[in-house]
Amino acid sequence: MDKGKKDFIHGFFIDRRSFLKMTAAGAAALGLGALSFPESAEAAGKPAVLWLHGQECTGCTESVLSALDPDPRDVILDVVSIRYHETIMAASGYVAEEALEATILEGNYVLVMEGSIPNADDRYLYVAGKPLRLTLLDAAANAAAIFAIGACAAYGGLNGATVTLGLGVGDLVTGKPLVNLPGCPLKPTWFYGTLLYYLNNGTLPDLDPDLRPKDYYGRLVHQDCPRLDNFRAKNFLTDWNDPAQAGYCLYLKGCKGRWTRSDCSTTLWNEGANSCNASNAPCAGCTEPNFYNGFSPLYKN
């Protein structure tokens, strides 16, 4: 049997090229247009990616690496060349930092930023003896496009509510193509779909005023919530332990879905398994610019 990727639905193996076409079709179904893994990735050298970490929990990396479709191994090994990523790279120490510096000098790469940048004092975050703020600015200067992934990198997120006064990439970097992919963490489909769109088209997808892809962040969570009928009937959950209130609207328990834009209620998480509201957790508003500080406390409205 030829070595290939397993189809988890039917249990048979398919070759790599068929697999890439299949995952591209899945991305297209999300609304970002015709997507395919770029042929140029094999023919003309793979696009370089620098992935920096700021103030964060690495949850967005974990989310991206946990995807099933597409398989992260195909993207990492076959589609792009990740030159620097503190979590997954084999190099460390001086060797890793030399790779970062060499790629910055080379230019024309995709810069992925995960985590916020401390604004109160640069000493809150040094990497390799250098303030993270300066590393970001150096890397941004020669980047072809910048992906700010997760709530922290996009708008400051949780760290914006701490003594570090964390900032998003757009608070520091101007004059560069920038896409925000907020979420705590972000969905893998948001990252892969946007990345593949960019690699195929050489430009970012249509963005909203907060620099989020409209196809992923165009509708309010509330509009497609599985509890919407109970909201309209004014059936609001007040007692988590009352089985008679199962499925009731979580508005009184702090749900921020009426002010939060994402496709969480339609495409669901974990390959279509669930969402926050469907699993009895009120929406925290993690895709919005005023998360976390503006939506705290999370369990009150």
Catalytic residue among 10, 53, 85, 276: 276
Active site residue 276: yes
DSSP state of 225: -
Contacts (Cβ under 8 Å, ≥6 apart) of 20: 36, 37, 70, 74, 78
Active site residue 184: yes
Active site residue 10: no
Helix (H, G, I), strand (E, B) or coil at 196: helix
Active site residue 264: yes
**Beta partners for residue 147, in sequence order:** 112, 179
What is the Rg, in whole angstroms, of the alpha carbon atoms belonging to the chain?
20
b/e map of 270-285 (b: 16 or more CB within 10 Å)?
A: eeeeebbbbeebbbbb
Active site residue 85: no
Active site residue 249: yes
Active site residue 225: yes
* Cα-based angle 46, 49, 51 (whole degrees, multiple of 5): 160
Q: Please tell me the distance from the alpha carbon of residue 240 to that of residue 242, in angstroms, as a whole number.
A: 6
Query: Is the distance from CB of 260 to CB of 221 less than 8 angstroms?
Result: yes
Long-range contacts formed by 230-233: CB under 8 A, 24+ apart:
none
- Comparing C-alpha atoms, which of 56, 59, 220 is closest to residue 132? 56
Query: Is the distance from CB of 212 to CB of 181 less than 8 angstroms?
Result: yes
Give me the phi and psi of 254, to 5 degrees please: 100, 10
Enumerate the active-site residues.
57, 60, 152, 184, 222, 225, 249, 255, 264, 276, 283, 286
